[in-house]
């Protein structure tokens, strides 16, 4: 059992504890789950499922929100 797994969040490698969920990741990043939309390996994960979705080594996560635009 390793003590961490490596994932890619918004294009940057990060390590998280094994068996972390997406909700745990948002907690570590101090992000409000209501203020971001989460994509895991190009599939959207809806808010109610964030706590039940476990991270695996090599997962690619995108965290997006609304910014200024025309």
Closer CB to another protein, 2 or 68, in the complex: 68
Q: Tell me the three state secondary structure of residue 42.
A: coil
Site residues for another protein, 24-63, by CB under 8 A, read 29, 31, 35-37, 39, 42, 44, 46, 62-63
Q: Does 65 bind another protein (CB under 8 A)?
A: yes
> Among 3, 1, 4, 14, which residue's Cα sits nearest to residue 61?
14
**Distance (Å, whole) CA 5 – CA 18:** 6
Residues in contact with another protein by CB under 8 A are 9-12, 29, 31, 35-37, 39, 42, 44, 46, 62-70
């Amino acid at each position: 059992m390793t003590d961490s797994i490596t994932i890619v969040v918004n294009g940057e490698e990060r390590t998280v504890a094994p068996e972390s969920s997406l909700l745990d990741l948002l907690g570590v990043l101090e992000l409000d789950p209501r203020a971001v939309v989460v994509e895991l390996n190009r599939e959207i994960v809806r808010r109610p499922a964030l706590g039940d979705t476990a991270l695996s080594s090599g997962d690619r996560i995108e965290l997006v929100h609304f910014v200024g635009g025309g």
